[in-house]
Amino acid sequence: MNDNIIQKRIDMFYMYTSFEDSPVEKIVTILKSNQSKFISGEKLSKSLNLSRAAIWKNIKKIQSLGYKIQSKTGMGYKLRAKTTLLLPWEISNGLQTDIFGRKIYYFNTIGSTQDFALRLTERPYENGSVIISATQTRGRGRLNRKWISPKGGIWLSILIKPNFEVSQTSIFPMVTSLALAKAIENILKKTPQIKWPNDIMLNNKKVAGILIDASVQSNKINYMIIGIGVNFRIDSKKILKSIKNSQRCSITTLVEKKDSADPIKLVQEFLLQLEQMYNNVISNNISKIRKEYINRSSTIGKSITLRTHNGIISGKAVSIDKNGALMISDGKKTKRLLTGDLTSR
Ligand code: BT5
């Protein structure tokens, strides 16, 4: 697709990137630094060189983004509560990564964040770009399965242009699921398990899934798009109703509706964990990743049945090798598998 068209599409659809200097972002910053007191419309208008009407319009916009702002005649505006929407500047603020998430595209709604990332692959300076949408209309899982993406979930993709061999891509389901599991542990103090290859489980129910799209050319990777779908604060019953009977599994939400946990912190921690592990993959330092993955695996040591493109395989899950492949033994032979769907745990 030609660059102009992409630029136009981006201008039309995305809301803010982390470095856009919009009045919305500036007003939010000022309100945040004056959190305990009111700040007058006049003061805002002077410091931003905007009319009072423009300030009012932007305050309305900020409220529509989920910030709670109190306005009082004669006193001005006061920020009462931050948004929980995954807005780019909220993620940038306090993000500790060097590359991942330094540029963020945010949408209210989109077909699929993976597909949008795909459109960015030919553009320069997009390594590490993150695409987030509050809802998706055509979210997808592996093997083109439907991924239901209502408000309250974390639907996010990262575009990476890695500089390593193709053989190293197969490790990414393992790396990404470990990064996500660790982020959940660190931020929410919960202990998820990882069902091979890349389902994040909480109390034996799926709470997040991972999808990786990669393009390979003569043993080099052009790009990799890592997608995560986290059922952060969702109604699992509603999601289940939208999934075909044959594809249903036990689903859960990461936090309950009344829980005030902040998804922004989780995204920041996930990006940091992923970037650190990515750097370890580049320097071929994967023994720790493998060990940590195995420690959290709900699959290793169990008798399992797997659906693969070569049919059904049953046996004992013995281990995971350094490329993320599952070693499964029927007592006589050990097979090595890179993908598949577990039909039992
Ligand atoms: C996955 O697929 O687990 C990968 C999901 C990746 C979604 C993200 S969201 C951001 C990015 N943009 C996209 O378009 N996709 C990525 P898979 O292993 O095929 O698992 C699909 C199965 O998970 C379904 O058949 C259900 O049984 C279960 N599941 C759990 N939560 C679900 C949900 N919210 N929607 C659909 N299925 C769900």
Ligand 1 centroid vs 181 CA: distance in angstroms?
16
Q: CA angle, 52 as apex, 47 and 58 as ends, to 5°?
A: 85
Average pLDDT over residues 71-96: 92
Ligand 1 site, residue 152, Cβ cutoff 6 A: no
Average pLDDT over residues 308-331: 92
pLDDT: which is higher, 247 or 186: 186
Atom number in ligand 1 closest to CA 112: 14
Q: What is the pLDDT of residue 166?
A: 83
Cβ atoms of 117 and 131 closer than 8 Å: yes
Q: How far is the CA of 207 from the centre of ligand 1 (A)?
A: 9
User: How many angstroms is it from 308 CA to the middle of ligand 1?
Assistant: 18
Can you give the pLDDT at residue 15? 54
Q: What is the mean pLDDT of residues 321-341?
A: 92
pLDDT above 90: percentage of residues in the chain: 72
Vertex 211 angle, CA 209 and 212, to 5°: 150
Q: What is the mean pLDDT of the chain?
A: 90
Residue 307 is classified by DSSP as E
* 270 confidence band (pLDDT: 50, 70, 90): very high
- The verdict on the CB of residue 159 being under 6 Å from ligand 1 is no
Question: What is the per-residue pLDDT for 14?
Answer: 52
Summarize the confidence of residues 307-314 as an average pLDDT.
89
Q: Are 104 and 92 in contact (CB under 8 A)?
A: yes
| pLDDT for res 6 | 44
Confidence (pLDDT) at 164: 79
For the stretch 282-310, pLDDT in tens is 898 999 999 999 999 999 999 999 998 88
pTM of the prediction? 0.92
Lowest-confidence region among 143-157, 174-188, 231-245, 330-344: 330-344
The per-residue pLDDT for 10 is 42
Is the Cβ–Cβ distance between 88 and 129 less than 8 Å? no
Residue type, 131: I
Q: What is the mean pLDDT of residues 251-271?
A: 96
Measure the N-to-C terminal CA separation of the chain; round to a whole number of Å: 43
User: What's the CA-to-centroid distance between 325 and ligand 1, angstroms?
Assistant: 21
Paired sense of beta strands 154-160 and 130-136, if any: antiparallel
pLDDT for 246 equals 78
For residue range 127-136, what is the model confidence (pLDDT) as tens digits? 999 999 999 9
pLDDT band, very low/low/confident/very high, at 20 (cuts 50, 70, 90): low
Position 3 pLDDT exceeds 60: no
Indicate whether 146 pLDDT > 70. Answer: yes
> Whole-angstrom Cα distance, residue 134 to residue 180?
19
Residue 212: CB atoms within 10 A of its CB come to: 21
Atom 38 of ligand 1: nearest residue by CA position: 147
The ligand 1 atom at the shortest distance from the C-alpha of residue 249 is 27
Residue to mutate (ligand 1; options 147, 155, 158, 210; most atoms within 8 A of CB): 147
Q: Identify the residue whose C-alpha is closest to ligand 1 atom 10.
A: 155
Is residue 40 pLDDT above 50, yes or no? Answer: yes
Least confident window among 21-30, 142-151, 155-164, 194-203: 21-30
145 lines ligand 1 (CB under 6 A): yes
Task: Tell me which of 246 and 318 has the higher pLDDT.
Answer: 318
Task: Output the CA angle 15-21-25, nearest 5 degrees.
Answer: 70
